[in-house]
Structures are given as structure tokens and as C-alpha cells.
Amino acid sequence: MSIADAYAGTPRVSAPPPQLAEARRRLQAGDLAGARALYLELIDQPQLTPLCLHDLGLVAALQGQHARAAGLFRQTLRLDPNRLEAYANLAVACEHSGDLPGLLAAWLEHGNALVNLGQRREAVELYRRLLDREPRHYAAAVNLGNSLAWLGEGEEAAHWLSHALHLLARTGAPLGALLEVIEARGGEAFPLDGQPPPDGLPVGPLDEGENALTTLARLLAERGFAEDALACHARIVQEVPGYAQGHWNYGLALLTEYDYARGWREYEWRWRWPEFPEFHRRLPLPVWPGGDPQGQHLLVWTEQGYGDAIQFLPLASRLLEQGARVTVETPQPLVRLFAANLPDIPVIARPERPDQPVEGEFDAMVPLMGLPFRLNLRVDALPLATHYLKPLPEDQAVWAERLADRTGLKVGLVWAGRAAHTNDARRSLAFDALAPLLEIPGVSWHSLQVGPASRQIECLEAVRDLAAQFKDFADTAAAIAALDLVIAVDTGVAHLAAAQGKPVWLLLPTPGDWRWGRETETTPWYPSVRIFRQARPGDWQETIARLRKALAQWAARR
């Protein structure tokens, strides 16, 4: 392979300006001096600077100046950290210049960029390549383990996280000793007895081990060792003061066990975690700390997903009952439905930018999911309410008429959530997995699925697509009211149907989200929900077979 073949090509640009197109033509033709001259003319245009730096790196590399090329690729990435071909070319330049630390760093940063873009499977291959070259690379082992855990490959994830912590223990780091706590029970959950890392101290960036340990503790909980996992989470936050992600994960573990007294307090740490991947309202208002809200005007902004907004909405009414004036701010698709069901609370649309001003005078603001902590919510106070979301009468009449011709048991289906959700790979499934349900006699099928996954039934006559006519959640609620049952994965529609009091059969992965607890078929949040959990992580076939049997029995009784 030639040097030119080893380097990735120039990045794609839609409608490139003529000078850039000419520079690239010269580069591809081997006129390196001519290409360089044109790139230098264009480099001061801010929108073209990263492209020009990258391509000047290619020019340098093709001239045999690999160290200079590496410097130009690094400059490119400082301006545009998501330019993936620059990472690949940086690695090639470092390899040609004999810079092993630079090569390992390039592979690590490339893998991390892929993770940030949601391309974890591709990141796994890069981390593996790095560890084949340098098996003592601590950060690569941690990131590989975390990525594998996210992909549901728990046993191999545990191997690499254990590998990383064995390396860390050699530095005398205090959390390295916590590996013994994990291994005391980890052997029963997953094999942790693989080959130890080669002799020597770890290579590359180090932390205190909290990242790897947090993931291992989560894996222990997923394998049914909840008490051991909780003990590990507690030790981690004790040993690393201020570790926000650790407190957040500890909170999720506590909430899963319905330990709400401690869980909600730990859950509040999400806003101290800089990488918390959710919308965070930023206004020149104090955050309401709790206490007596009498006479205060509070802006309650919903956070995270649509389901979270629906699940915790009744707490806004609790503030009203305690004498506060309340305004709820929520994403536009929920506004019409919430406004119709909260006659004494104004409901406004959430802006696109977290710092965008809001009209009106407020004394304080508070995130909706911060209210359980401030209102001291406990499990014995659940459900918060029942049948608390009702469709608008005019919408309900329209949808009742649309479905009047359907006979038998009317069942709605949702099989996928937002692809951007951190747990979507586990919670969503392909429609084909539900195909065995369509064989049940006496059932009419209706899709409530929105988004790209809705196209999976385009050629399927057995399922009527209702979602194509939805403008917002008020429409969805009206359609649900005309159905007998909703079968859904863990999405906003499942929460919506449950908040309407409609029977919901929830298809839940293992592990499931914290709010559904562990092992049970019921939830204190919604009396009308029946949970069909995976018996084994990733196994939807057995879960759907169980659901099919139950549904066939129901349909036969009608």
C-alpha cells in the first residue's frame, strides 16, 4: 500500500466553492505545490479553515512530512472535533513518524468521538485495535468495557473493566482496592478470571477508577446482585467526593429498589454532571429549593423525555394545592394535551434554547423531576393520580368514528423509541419481532408508532397506521381512547396510555429503567400497566411468546 492509499480521502463538502474544488483536483492529481497554494488562500475563511488545515495535512503527508501532517490534523480537530477522517489520518501520520504515544492517543480520541456520535460498535473496534497494540492502556480498556456494556455485552465488558482496574491497582490508587469488592461476587455474575494485563504500570490517561467501577456495579445489578451493586455505588461516592456521575448512578440504583428516601437526593446530582445529556433550562431565576411554596409563582419545566413529563405531571398540581401559582413549560407536542387537563395551570411551549427568556414574572423555577425530592415523595404515595390525562372531547369523537368499523379486540402497537435515547438499543425492537402476534384471531391491529420506525409496516395490510394522522400527543390520546389495549416498549406512548387508565402491556428489556423496579409484573406508578420483562438480556422472542399466549386468551374470552 502506498502512503497515499494509507491516508483517508478529503472530507465531503456539499457545493464546494470553485477554489476549493480546484485545490482538491490538484491534490488528487499530485500537484501538491499548486494545491497547497490554493488552500493557503482559502484558510482564513472561518467556514473553510478546518477543511483547509485537514487537506494541508494530506499535502504534508504526501510530501513525506508526517510529523508536520500530524500537527495539522491536530489543529483540524481542535476546531472540529467530529471530523472523523482527521482522527484516522492523524493515526496514520503518527505511525509513519514513529510516534507511538501519538498513535495510541489518536485511536483513543477517534473512538471517543465515535461514542459521542452514537457509533459505539465502530468505537469498540478502535479500542480493540489500540489494546492489541498496547494492552496496558487503561483508558482504552475502560472505554471498551463501557461501550460493550452499553451494547449489552456484559461479560466481555466486565472482563475489560476488570483488566483496567488491575492496571490501576498497580499505581496504588485507593479505588483499585475496590476491585476486590467487585470480584467477591462478580465471579458469580460474570467471569473475571481472565489473563491479567502484562507487567508494568498503566499507559495513557488515568482517572481514579470510578468510571470503570460504576459500570461494573451497574453490571452486577443487571445480573441480579442488587445489594452488592448498591454497596459498590456507596463506596465509590464515599471515596470520590463530588463524583456527580457516581451519585447519579447510585441514585438510579436506589430508585430501582424503591428506596426513594435516599434515591431522590442522589438523583439531584444529575445537574452537577457536566455531561448529563439532557435539556437544562438556564434562566436568571433562582431554583426553588423546596419548602412552603405558598404565594410563589413557580416555572415548572419538564425535562428528559415525553414519558418523564407525563409520569411526573401530577406533581405540578400538588404545588398548586399547596398555594403556589404554577406555570408548566413543556415541549410543543405535549402543550395542547396538558393545557386541556390542567385548567388552573398555564401551559407554555418550551423554547429550543435553554437560555431563551420566558414571558411573565416568576419567583423561582424548578425542573419537574426535581419535585419528588422537594416534595418528599415516597412509594406509599403512589400512584400520584389515575386517569389524569383525558383526550379533548372533539378529538375523541373524531377518533371514535375513525375506528368504529374495526371489530374484535382493538390493540395499539409501539415498538421503538427515539434513536437518540441512551438506552434505545435495548428498549426498542424491529416490528418483525412482533409478527407472531398478528396470527391471533379476533384482534385488530393499529400502529401508534411515529418516527422512522413507522416505515417498517408500510407494506403490511394487517396493521392500520394511525400515527400518520397525529399532530401531537392530544391526537395520540384520542386514538388510544378508542382502543382496548396498548402494547408498547418503554416510550412516551406507554406512559400516555397508562396516564389515561388504558390497559398497557409494557415490553421491558432486562435491565429495565429504574421506574419499573425489578422482577415484578406491576408498578405502583400506574395500576393499568402489566410488565412483560425479558427473561434474559436481549431475548425478545421468549418475552413476546409469553405476551402472545396472554393476548390469545384475552381475545378468546371476548
Q: Taking 80 as the threshold, does the pLDDT of residue 307 lie above it?
A: yes
On whether the CB atoms of residues 474 and 491 are closer than 8 A, the answer is no
pLDDT, tens only, 197-227: 778 888 888 876 788 888 888 888 887 788 8
- Asked if residues 435 and 547 have their Cβ atoms less than 8 Å apart, the reply is no
Q: Does 51 share its domain with 137? A: yes
Domain residues for 205? 3-216
Per-residue confidence (pLDDT) for residue 298, from 0 to 100: 98
pLDDT score of 21 more than 90: no
pLDDT band at 257 (very low <50, low <70, confident <90, very high): very high
pLDDT exceeding 70 applies to what percent of the chain? Answer: 92
pLDDT digits (tens, 9 = 90+) for 430-443: 999 999 999 999 99
**Per-residue model confidence (pLDDT) at position 177:** 62
pLDDT of residue 383: 97
Is residue 429 over pLDDT 50?
Answer: yes
- Which amino acid appears at position 487 of this protein? I
Question: What's the rounded mean pLDDT across residues 149-160?
Answer: 86
Specify whether 305 is located in the same domain as 411.
no
Q: Which of 326, 342, 377 is the last residue of a domain?
A: 377
Q: Partners of 297 in the beta sheet? A: 325
348: which strand partners?
329
Q: What integer best gives the mean pLDDT of the chain?
A: 89
Residues 20 and 55 placed together within one structural domain of the fold: yes
Nearest in space to 191 (alpha carbons), one of 203, 183, 199, 202: 183
Residue 269 CA neighbour count, 13 Å, CB half: 18
Give me the count of residues in the chain.
Answer: 558
Taking residues 236-249, what's their average pLDDT?
Answer: 89
Residue range 140-161: mean pLDDT, rounded: 89
Give the model confidence (pLDDT) of 81-118 as tens digits: 989 999 999 999 999 999 999 999 999 999 999 998 88
**Looking at the predicted structure, is the pLDDT value of residue 4 above 80?**
no
**Of 196, 216, 236, which one is at a domain's C-terminal end?**
216
Question: What's the mean pLDDT in 479-508?
Answer: 97
Looking at the fold, whether 349 and 423 belong to one and the same domain comes out as no
Of 477 and 458, the one with more pLDDT:
477
Which conformational region is residue 7 in: left (phi greater than 0), alpha (psi within -120 to 50 degrees), or beta? beta
- Distance (Å) of CA 99 to CA 84, 103, 133, 249: 20, 6, 13, 38
Which cell is 331 given? 415541549
Residue 162 vs residues 156, 212, 240: alpha-carbon distances, Å: 10, 8, 19
User: pLDDT by residue (tens digit) across 163-181?
Assistant: 888 888 888 777 666 666 6
- Residue 386 resides in a domain: no
Q: Taking residues 252-260, what's their average pLDDT?
A: 95
Same domain, 326 and 398: no
Same-domain check for residues 365 and 481: no
- In this model, does residue 527 exceed pLDDT 90? yes
User: Does residue 505 surpass a pLDDT of 50?
Assistant: yes
Residues 406 and 462 in one domain: yes
For residue 410, is pLDDT > 50? yes
**Residue 228: is its pLDDT beyond 90?**
no
- Residue 383, domain member (yes or no): no
Quickly state the pLDDT bin for 301 (edges 50, 70, 90). Answer: very high
State the CB neighbour count (10 A cutoff) for residue 352.
Answer: 7
Q: Which of these three, 164, 182, 216, is where a domain ends?
A: 216
Helix (H, G, I), strand (E, B) or coil at 8: coil
Residue 547 has pLDDT above 80, yes or no: yes
d(CA 349, CA 171): 52
Judged by average pLDDT, the poorest of 130-134, 341-345, 456-460 is 456-460
Task: Indicate the number of domains in the chain.
Answer: 3
Per DSSP, the chain holds a count of helices (H) and strands (E) of 24, 10
pLDDT at 3: 44
Position 453 in a domain: yes
At residue 2, the pLDDT reads: 40
Q: Assess whether 351 and 440 both reside in one domain.
A: no
pLDDT at 512 over 50: yes
304 pLDDT higher than 50: yes
Q: Which amino acid, residue 486?
A: V
The pLDDT tens digits for 355-406 are 999 999 999 999 999 999 999 999 999 999 999 999 999 999 999 999 988 8
Give me the pLDDT at residue 453, please: 86
| pLDDT at site 235 | 86
5 — pLDDT class (breaks 50, 70, 90): low
Q: Do residues 511 and 537 lie in contact, with contact meaning Cβ atoms separated by under 8 Å?
A: yes
Q: Are 286 and 370 in contact (CB under 8 A)?
A: no
Q: What is the CATH number of the domain that holds 422?
A: 3.40.50.2000
Confidence of residue 191 (pLDDT cuts 50, 70, 90): low
Q: Is the pLDDT of residue 421 over 70?
A: no
Do residues 404 and 549 share a domain? yes
435 & 534 share domain: yes
For 458-471, the pLDDT digits (tens) are 888 889 999 999 99
| Residue 64: inside a domain | yes
Copy the grid coordinates of residue 50: 478546518
Do 53 and 161 fall within a single domain? Answer: yes
Asked whether residue 62 falls in the same domain as residue 102, the answer is yes
Name the grid cell of 207: 482517572
Would you state the cell numbers that stand for residue 361, as one nine-digit string?
414574572
Query: Domain with 32 in it: what CATH number?
Result: 1.25.40.10
